[in-house]
Structure 1
Amino acid sequence: MTMICIASCVNSEKKLIDSLRYFLLGGAFAALWGILHFLLHILDLEYPAFLFNNSIGVAALGYVSTLLDGTIPRVSSVATEPSYLVRSTIPMIVILYIFWNFRFHLTSRAATYFYLIFLVVVTILSTSTLGFFGLFMLYLIFLFTARPSFIAKVLSIFVLAFAFMLLYSEPFYIVLNELVFEKFTIGSGGDRLNTVLIGVENFLESPFLGVGPGMLTVHDLFVKMYSNFGLFGATFYFAFIFFTLYSSYKIIIKIKLKSRKLYIFYLSILLANITLLLLDVVSGMSYTYGIFWVLLGLLMSLKNLDEYKKIKIV
């Protein structure tokens, strides 16, 4: 319903820009909430959970998320773990980057640049493996869309290689080892792999209709959809996603030389959708997380814009 309402009600450029502004402000709120957690932990001050929590469950303890037995604090937010926070920051970073790269801004270029850097810093401080994967995808987007020369892009690759070498050295390797390598065998990595195996077992027991929406938490997009919704539901879902993204991609190719502004809207929102979908592939479908439906609704709403209707697309 969220997706349908956004797709049908956002029918003008003004409404689209207003929606994007509120969307990005929501990200700022979540990120600042996470920074509050982070600073209070560093200053050894008690977090006012009685005032700033929206959950009474275990997830509400996310504000005390740490690494290395409490040595390194992590930025988490809105009573969720860091991997859910970066599901918000990464798509917003993609949108802001495309806006900044094509010199299109909802407020000013300086504000766009500052907010972009702020969200990147919050994502890094979250120390989420999913967040680092998202930043790597952003780097790939930069290679294919940035204005700098080929030489500048090649140099950026060497900078990235140097950064990996730095992370591999002490003491960074200790943190990197806990964040990435150990996850494949112990801790959350082992738990995530176990959910996938359980999901496969449940799908084999009920392949056509699945075990029911939300009945299984599986940290893999495909296994989660097929185990929860079965062949019928999952196939319909993937067909819908593919058609929506592919049709938007074809439109981007056709409008590139006809409308610069519409091209920027389509490119930024489409890439944000694809990025979030790729995050879900390695971590599990976030269909209960609002940002997924908001981004899809915004992408579908672009066909309602007057500027789109003026362009003859065959």
Structure 2
Amino acid sequence: MLVVLAAYITDLLIGDPRWLPHPVVYIGRFIAFGERQLRRVARGSKQLRVAGGILAVLVVGSSYFITLLLLQGAAAIHPWLAAGLEIWLISTTMAVRGLAGAAARVLSPLIRGDLDLARQQVGWIVGRDTAQMGAPEVIRATVETVAENIVDGFVSPLFYALIGGAPLAMAYRAVNTLDSMVGYRNELYRDLGWASARLDDVVNYLPARWAGWMLVLAAWLSGRRAGEARQAIKRDAGRHPSPNSGIPEAAMAGALGIRLGGLNFYGGRPSFRPYMNESGVLPGTDHIRRAVDMLYLSSFLALTSGLAAAWAFRSLWCMCQGTVL
């Protein structure tokens, strides 16, 4: 629990400095390498689907066991080295500071009226086409990605770190990276990426619902629309194409009193996302700041509630084992 707390503080203080090697970079390279090799031998839909399952198992399993071996090697040298390494590894799976910074880099040019730079910046954090976006679409995309990544960028890594430390948190990050690289439903990845996409849905199922409640609580504590956030989750989250992403997006929309969702373009093709909190106003630049505020508060609430639950479980386990804490 102390390691997880230290990892959270580390992420807030330093984020992901460019001079430090980041595990996700190496996971991404392994995914790209594995995809190239598997496409050389897999032909047809069935073979590609099998290859997709193999890719997911190899990447996630390797991420888990390599992390485990690194920690065991560090522990053989000194326990404090293992603790420090685990703190850093878990912090790399979290992205509260990075997500807030990415939102700020979109907001700054928007305020200056530099729409081209704002489009460029938002293009780094969303998968949709951004070249022709107007300012309202740039703002909406930013708020939506902040909301969605409360799950991917913090609550899910926290959830798995509390259960299984850095190895399980890194395995989760591998699932998330697989989904972002091959988990698309287009012609190129429909078969190869099916396993990664389904696995991502499964591992985010519980954390997404935890995040939804933390956003409702954050709205209540900050004097925002907690009731609307709760109603938006109940009414709109199930309409989202993702079984998980709709929960934080609906909660954020309700809490801020804005409407999210609408027409997006992917590779030039239109895709309409159902509205979240349809009666809300269109988001403005200030809603990016408010979304980041919700990010910080909901992540803190998830941390405290997660640590409390972990402590309670440990206490109960020790009592059952007849151990005095």
- TM-score, length-normalised on structure 1? 0.29
Q: Which has the higher contact order (CA 8 A, sep 6+)?
A: 1
Length-normalised TM-score, structure 2:
0.28
